[in-house]
Chains A and B, each alone.
Chain A
């Protein structure tokens, strides 16, 4: 039997005292909306499996009794809270499709604090470092300093491995507990720059090292740092990332300089719930990596996932993580990896949905959202929280101001989308459209007081108009800095 690691009563929205008939009725109701025949969305498929497992358990008297007894024995532990805010409570009865937003916050228990969590969440960290020819000199030196500082930061309970790669990969430090720091540092110092960049080699060896100590009790994390473009092995890398996600390993990717493939690294990281970042100058590497590793140490819950199951006629248009690391998330997979939930930090996700043309007034459901994760403080019990979203449809809905959190985030997200669309237009050869969007972006950035970024957008607009292409540097700067604007808003940063 599949181990049940979430509360089946909550999944079916029934009381623990519900009768067998009530449970059956609740299952039928949910299945009508989530069955793969009725609902094509990948999130619905995941949730359908969940409710079916829950129903199988609760409809079998013996299993249900066993589960109830189990629950009684368990002490009350800490949990995360799941809060979903819609952009409005009532929507108009319109003869055309309309857009609708949900802000989903996953909030760690307020009782958790950094001191206790540090002991609870130990680190199984792998660094995969590019030492191709282009890294020679200052860049590699900085990476070495950063690695030394990371070694200093880790405790003897943590596990570290370091893999270096160019067109072939080697283990610099095999996965081991961080006890002999001097020897580890010496090995890092010996790295030399040579060869070209082939990410698959490094990623595959790095994951192999990380798997040696793979355990649910640990924060299993891989950091990939590269300054180059890999050719032809992107798909194989993404396959590796998918496998890693299944094992509970998250991957963060950092691009240094201008050459690297941002689209690919973004996808790689967001598949696994990790983050991707652009480190513009080599002098920023040290602080950046250190900060990243520090954040890994304060984990409240690991392997957080979110599944979005819209009703059959509702469509998920986009999912974007606002905090802690703003980045777009894939919409076409059932359970979206969100990585780790840190103490005192909220994970915020903004979901854009499209509701079809509506025919009648009254309440209607829009979809179900489920968040799950392994809570360290709670003996790693997997917890799940499910929310139903329902709205009232009215011919003449009252005017309501959208929640400020959504307005703030969306205003900035729109800017990120504009640069994304400008890039798409350029890829499709539509120079006119790309120029126009970059110009609009510059204007809007000026109005918002982001004059440096606005200047950059304006410079790119001109570059596009005259040369029909973008500078690699400008494009990345605009992409990651418009994304960075989101950090200022979003409730996730409030307590940081």
Chain B
């Protein structure tokens, strides 16, 4: 079995390109183009560690979530499903990550905005938009509702207008 370094899908041994995402499975392709993005200062110190970019999320790893323009970080150990949103008096359930203190209402975060699923078999996390009003963007790309995407260390998640960065801590 070969695990695709880009999308973490399983491919049969001997395959040269991932059947799911079409990218080469051997890492030495010379003309692979990788997206770049500017890092802002608040997250710079957190990005300098070895696992940056990995999709592997070990059994006892933790998620570190940075909300842009805030000094605090949210650290959590994800369950199988981690709901992200904001809590107010008319909410029916409290999200696992409540973004109200970070100005979620003004920035257009829905009550149940997105979810992070944990797959213990493949040791990966996926991000799903839960049909939010203002959308969820992963690294600048808008997610379609109910379409899971693999999360990687260092990814940028935008919920409405709120920009956050995700890091894995082992």
Contact = CB atoms under 8 A, between A and B. Distances in A.
- Asked if A pairs with B, the answer is yes
Interface of A: 87, 91-92, 94, 96-101, 354-355, 401-402, 406-407, 410-411, 414-415, 417-418, 421, 432, 435-437, 439-441, 443-444, 447, 461-462, 465
B16 A406 contact: yes
A245 to B, nearest CB: 32
A99 B21 CA distance: 18
Contacts of A410: 16-17
Instruction: Give the dominant DSSP class at A's interface.
Output: helix
20 contacts: A87-B16, A94-B13, A97-B12, A99-B14, A355-B14, A402-B16, A407-B24, A410-B16, A417-B19, A418-B19, A421-B19, A432-B147, A437-B20, A441-B22, A443-B141, A444-B23, A447-B33, A462-B144, A465-B144, A465-B145
B97 interface: no
Given A411-B24, A432-B147, A465-B147, A440 B16 contact: no
B1 interface: yes
Contacts of A415: 22
Nearest to B21: A440
Contacts of B17: 410-411, 414
A98 B12 contact: yes
Contact of B22 (A91, A97, A407, A414): A414
A99 B144 contact: no
Nearest to A462: B144
A94 B14 CA distance: 11
Contact of B13 (A99, A411, A421, A465): A99
Nearest to A417: B19
Interface in B1-45: 1, 7, 12-24, 26, 28, 32-33
Contact of A99 (B12, B20, B24, B146): B12
A418 B144 CA distance: 19
A87 B15 CA distance: 10
B16 A100 contact: no
A386 to B, nearest CB: 25
Sorted nearest first, the 10 A-B pairs with minimum C-beta distance are A99-B14, A98-B14, A98-B13, A444-B22, A414-B17, A440-B21, A414-B22, A465-B144, A99-B12, A99-B15
A461 B143 CA distance: 12
B147 A101 contact: no
Contact of B16 (A407, A418, A439): A407
Contacts of B23: 444, 447
A417 B15 CA distance: 13
A435 B144 contact: yes
Interface of B: 1, 7, 12-24, 26, 28, 32-33, 141, 144-147
Most-contacted residue by chain A among B7, B12, B14, B21 (CB, 10 A) = B14
Contact of A435 (B13, B19, B147): B147
A417 B11 CA distance: 14
A406 B26 CA distance: 14
Contact of A439 (B1, B14, B147): B147
Given A411-B24, A432-B146, 8 more contacts: A96-B1, A354-B12, A407-B16, A407-B24, A418-B20, A436-B147, A444-B22, A465-B145
Contacts of B19: 414, 417-418, 421
A415 B13 CA distance: 19
Contacts of B146: 432
Contacts of A417: 19
A405 B112 CA distance: 49
Contacts of A440: 7, 20-22
A460 B7 CA distance: 21
Contacts of A406: 16
B131 to A, nearest CB: 12
A437 B18 CA distance: 12
Most-contacted residue by chain B among A414, A417, A441, A465 (CB, 10 A) = A414
Contacts of A444: 21-23
B3 to A, nearest CB: 14
Nearest to A353: B14
A85 B24 CA distance: 20
A100 B12 CA distance: 10
Contacts of A407: 16, 24
Contacts of A432: 146-147
Nearest to B28: A401
Nearest to B7: A440
A85 to B, nearest CB: 14
Given A97-B13, A418-B22, A439 B144 contact: yes
A99 B2 CA distance: 11
Most-contacted residue by chain A among B13, B15, B33 (CB, 10 A) = B13
Given A435-B147, A436-B147, A439-B147, A100 B14 contact: yes
Contacts of A447: 23, 32-33
B154 to A, nearest CB: 18
A441 B141 CA distance: 14
B148 to A, nearest CB: 8
A288 B31 CA distance: 33
A57 to B, nearest CB: 39
A94 B1 CA distance: 10
B147 A91 contact: no
B138 to A, nearest CB: 11
A396 to B, nearest CB: 14
